[in-house]
Structure 1
Amino acid sequence: MTTALLIIDVQEAMFSYEVELHDGNEVMGRIVSLLNKARAAGIPVVYVQHTEDEEYTKGTDTWQISSLITPLPEDTIVEKPTWDSFHRTNLHEELQRLGITDLVICGMQTEFCVDTTVRRAYSMGYSSVLVQDAHSTFPNARFNAEEIVGHHNAVLGGRFAVLKPEHEVEFR
């Protein structure tokens, strides 16, 4: 198998803010579905876990990966200190160890860690699918979260990754 499911920063902190994630419950349902499909097909699952500052301090409740997608012992967990899942981490080495050339990417936050990781994966030669309805973010002072997600899908899709809705993603 050369494909892995890459789940970025789906941690309890994302659900602890006063402002809610855009389409949060639905996005989580789609991530759970992707995880179930990957596990049923025997596809490796790689979690990326942001580790820094207050909400993401290692060992705290908010740092934990969401209880809706609890990793199994055979899953890979990569901690990262920056928005780029490859920078200052062992992600590339873990993917190489697993023989991975293709990524199916989902997670949080669209304009930060998802965007940066999709671009970096492309630059490193990985073929990626960005699951267009399985990543989310929060509104900012200029744009609502739906606009941010839509913008990043438009920019990343067809250039840095293939865009697919969750229901079209199949693992073989």
Structure 2
Amino acid sequence: MDPRTTALIVIDVQNGFVNQHSRDVVPAIVRLVKRWQEARAPVVFARFRNEPGSPYERITGWTRLRTAEEQALVDELVPYATQATAVIAKGQSSVFTEEGARLIQNSGWSDLVLCGIDTDSCVYDSAVAAYQKGYRPWIVTDACASTGGPEYHDSALLMAARNISPDQLVTSQAVLERITQKGACA
């Protein structure tokens, strides 16, 4: 992975998504972001917001992630967000909003390393969208979690292995070794 063409996308590590199933992944994400920024590679944070009348409300009745407190990044990531390449607000699961898609295309990134919450929703949907748009998505398995529990996390990884490739599932250690070897290919 070349740090000039590979971005770390940190998806929805927000107070409203941290629970007993997802909180243990926060330190792994913080370590990944810290090391990524030390390598001077681009980092993008995505923050979900659930607007009134959204499909989440209309179809499933889900009304969380409306308040500023729920939408805020976890405290441990706030210092890194100020140094981020971008912070994208999104009202959908994928980071490929109009703003996100434009940022990724205009930045010339070919590889997107994805971590965050929920593996089975926003991370998976972003990986599939990246793949369908011709980008190479990497899911960092130990830097993702699902608020629904480990069975949802594991199911999403199983689907990603089938629909994208098992080679696109990596650990934090593996991806950090690749990004710090400037110009090394995956």
TM class by smaller structure = 0.7 to 0.9
Cα distance in 2 for residues equivalent to 1:37 and 1:138? 25
2:143 is equivalent to residue 134 of structure 1: yes
**Pairing of 1:27-106 with structure 2 (within 5 A):** 27-53=25-51, 54-57=63-66, 60-70=68-78, 71-87=81-97, 89-106=98-115
5+ long unaligned stretches in structure 2:
52-62, 181-186
Aligned length: 160
| Native 8 Å contact 2:118 2:153 kept in 1 | no
| Native 8 Å contact 1:14 1:21 kept in 2 | no
Q: Which residue is 2:158 aligned to?
A: 154
Moved more, 32-41 or 146-155: 146-155
Following superposition, the deviation at residue 74 of structure 1 comes to 4.4
Residue identity in the other structure for 1:165? T
Q: Which residue is 1:165 aligned to?
A: 171
Cα distance in 2 for residues equivalent to 1:61 and 1:152? 27
Q: Which residue is 1:7 aligned to?
A: 10
Higher helix share goes to which structure?
A: 2
5+ long unaligned stretches in structure 1:
140-144
Following superposition, the deviation at residue 97 of structure 1 comes to 2.3
Q: Which residue is 1:122 aligned to?
A: 131
- Structure 1 stretches (4+) deviating beyond 6 angstroms? none
| Native 8 Å contact 2:44 2:84 kept in 1 | no
TM-score normalised over the length of structure 1: 0.85
